[in-house]
Structure 1
Amino acid sequence: MRFNPCKALALLLLAGLLGGCATPTPYDYSAFKQSNPASILVLPPVNRSPDIKASYSLLSHVTLPLAEAGYYVLPVALVDETFKQNGLMNADEMHMVPPAKLHEIFGADAALYIEVSEYGSSYKLVTSEVAVTANAKLVDLRNGQLLWEGSARASSAENQNNSGGGLVGMLITAAVNQIINTLSDRGHEIAGITSQRLLTAGTFNGILPGPRAPQAMRDQLTAQ
């Protein structure tokens, strides 16, 4: 059979299109539904980014989406202070406490472990963006079982349009944005968006609604 390069290229393009349209696998919520947690302990996030503000910036945003999802969230400032009063001064140490011990101390049904892998501004010659990326795991404190995990990212570049002004205009815009981002700490604002994307209930493969959620939101839980 004679090799046809045009036909081969067409097949490769078709395969790429089919692969790009693959449907994501739905999350297995069986353990989450069986656990049915009502209260959540949020541990201070572990910071893997260079910005020292990342952990507590994100922590300040997590209570709202979890409360709106129908969970009782232990006061994050009180939790943080309790750890520090017991000699655990950073998030890495706090995350190493066994689930059973956390349940004994705080009495929550589940704990949310968060890791910040990206936080702050970056300058890339013709673009400047502020981005926050976070990963989370929800663990049952009564038996140590993983109930859910997810990740989210938000960036100031999502709504930027650099089409006008040519290369010089793009360079100037990027430089100005970098200065503004640094002076105003837009990372805190972007962290709020990341937190909402990560912890809002009812999204695909997101956290499930809690027992205090509105009926319409709980109906989504039944349907999944």
Structure 2
Amino acid sequence: MMSRILKLALCLVPAMLAVGCASHKQAAYDYTAFKAAKPRSIVVLPPLNDSPEVNAGNSVYAQVSYPLAEAGYYVLPVAVVSETFKQNGLTDAHDIHGVEAKKLSEIFGADAALYMTIARYGSTYTVVDSVSVVSVKAKLVDLKTGTLLWEGVASASSNEGNNSGGGGLVGMLVAAAVKQIINSSTDASHPVAGVANARLLSAGSPNGLLYGPRSQRYLAQ
């Protein structure tokens, strides 16, 4: 069994090096519609959850306001937004995402709406590790016209920058088992979701959101 694990690890090394050495250059995002709309306020809709974790939506939604506010936008309180939808008989994210843009504008008075989708959320156990990964994507839509202003995607992992080389293979297997037990008993993906949100919604990054009018960098972009 141990020899099989070692052979598997040796086979994976070249593939990992190839992926690490590969470079992918992104095309510059077209911000023409974004700059023309000049959104000042954003209503964030409860995210769609395509992961098997039932708590993923609440976790991501609870950590979405801070990066947007830091980017220079007024963000409607998510608790108020969620309660408003409930009062109008909408509790399912799919139904909420189906509401027309103009109707959202009438209800909330925001300039734009942020639609989010959780592609991945949770901890997975591999041969030598246990990793929590969160992947989210979002699009910003002008509520007056329904025009797409921006869209992006970001991921984060609990293993970023982690050095797990100490203790040999047996030590790595034991550490992975312990991490899996901890991750299963607690929501280890919650802080990872905060990192993914920050990467996705912080302004100033390549092809990321533009700074909002409340930011000192708004006029310089």
The alignment's TM-score, normalised by the length of structure 1, stands at: 0.87
Name the SS of the counterpart of 2:159 in structure 1. helix
Q: 2:43 aligns with which of 41, 44, 49?
A: 41
Match of 1:123 in 2: 125
Q: C-alpha displacement at 1:159, in angstroms?
A: 2.3
Number of the residue aligned with 2:136: 134
For 2:99 and 2:149, the matched residues in 1 are separated by 18
The whole-number CA distance in structure 2 between the counterparts of 1:91 and 1:54 is: 12
Q: Any gaps of 5 or more consecutive residues in structure 2?
A: 1-17
Which residue of structure 1 aligns with residue 115 of structure 2?
113
Q: For structure 1, which runs of at least 5 residues remain unmatched after alignment? A: 1-15
Instruction: Please say if 1:58 is aligned against 2:60.
Output: yes
Displacement of 1:23 in angstroms is: 2.8
| Residues 1:21 and 1:157: Cα distance change in structure 2 (over 3 Å) | closer
Query: Which piece of structure 1 moves more, 29-38 or 154-163?
Result: 154-163
Name the CA distance, whole Å, in 1 between partners of 2:63 and 2:102.
26
1:159 partner SS = coil
Within a 5 Å distance, the mapping from 1:58-97 to structure 2 comes to: 58-97=60-99
**What do residues 51-94 of structure 1 show as CA deviations (whole Å, max 9, x unaligned)?**
00001101111100101111000110111111111111111110
* CA RMSD after TM alignment: 1.6
Name the larger-Rg structure. Answer: 1
Instruction: Name the structure 2 match of 1:6.
Output: none
Counterpart of 1:179 in structure 2 is 181
* Structure 1 match to 2:15: none
Contact 1:71 1:212 in 2 (8 A): yes
**Residue pair 1:202, 1:220 contacting (<8 A) in 2 also:** no
Identity rate of aligned residues, in percent?
55
Distance 1:64 1:174, change over 3 A: same
The SS at the match of 2:196 is helix
Q: What is the one-letter code of the residue matched to 2:138?
A: A
The residue aligned with 2:172 is: 170
Question: Quick check: 154-163 or 69-78, which moved more?
Answer: 154-163
1:22 is displaced (CA, Å) by 5.0
TM-score under structure 2 length normalisation: 0.88
- Out of 201-210 and 20-29, give the one that drifted further: 20-29
Cα distance, 1:183 vs structure 2: 2.1
Could you say what secondary structure the match of 2:131 adopts? strand
Paired residue for 1:3?
A: none
Cα distance, 1:42 vs. partner?
0.2
Number of residue pairs matched by the alignment: 203
Alignment correspondent of 2:218? 218
